[in-house]
Amino acid sequence: MPGFGPCVDGVYGGLKTTARRHPESPTLEDPMSKALTGKRIAILVTDGFEQVELTGPKEALEQAGATVEILSTEEGQVKGWNHDKPADDFKIDRTFKAANASDYHGVVLPGGVQNSDTIRIDTDAQKLVKDIEGSGKPVAVICHGGWLLISAGLVKGKTLTSFKTLKDDLVNAGAKWVDQEVVTDGTLISSRQPDDIPAFNSKLIEALSA
C-alpha cells in the first residue's frame, strides 16, 4: 500500500528518513522495574500503525509493572506495519467508545500514516484523549501520532516534536515545533521517529511514576 508506510528507513513522503528499523527499549532494572505496578495505560491505534511504536513502549511499560491495553475503533484485531509492509496482528482489548478516561493513567499514540490519518477523525478517540489530558495524565505521542492531538485541539501554545513532515501542521495549529528526540510540555510527551523510542519510553515512565 504505497504512501502508507510508517516512519522508518527509506524514502517516506518524498523525504529520506533516518530512523533505524527496530531500536531496542532500554532494560529497566530494580527498583524502577515495578515502578508502574497498578497503573493502566491505553495505546490507541487503527490499522497501519508503525508496529515498533506500539511494541517498544508496550514492552517497556509492562517491564515497569504497568497493565497496557490496546484500543481501536472496533473489536477484533488491528494490523501493524513495518515501513511499507504489513506486519503482525494485535488483539484489541477495548474500543474507543467503550473506554473511559478514568480507567487509565496515561495514553500512548503511535504513528504510521494510515493509522494516524484514520484515528484523527474518530470522535471517540478525540474525546478519550482530551479527557485523559484534561485529567492531568500523560499523553505520549510519536511520529505522525500528533495528528490526533491537532484534531482534538490540544496543541495550541504547546511545544512539541514529531516526524518532520508534521512540522507545518503543528505550527499552523498553534504549536511550537522543535527538532529533539523527546519533548515534554505539561502533560504532553512527544518524539519524532523510531530512533527516539528509548528516550520516549524513559520520559513516559518517568511521567507515569510521578
Query: Where in the sequence numbering do the catalytic residues fall?
Result: 143-144
Distance, in Å, from the CA atom of 184 to the CA atom of 77, rounded to the nearest integer, reads: 31
**C-alpha angle with apex 103: 40 to 87, nearest 5 degrees?**
55
For residue 39, the one-letter residue type is: K
Peptide bond preceding 26: is omega within 30 degrees of 0, i.e. cis?
Answer: no
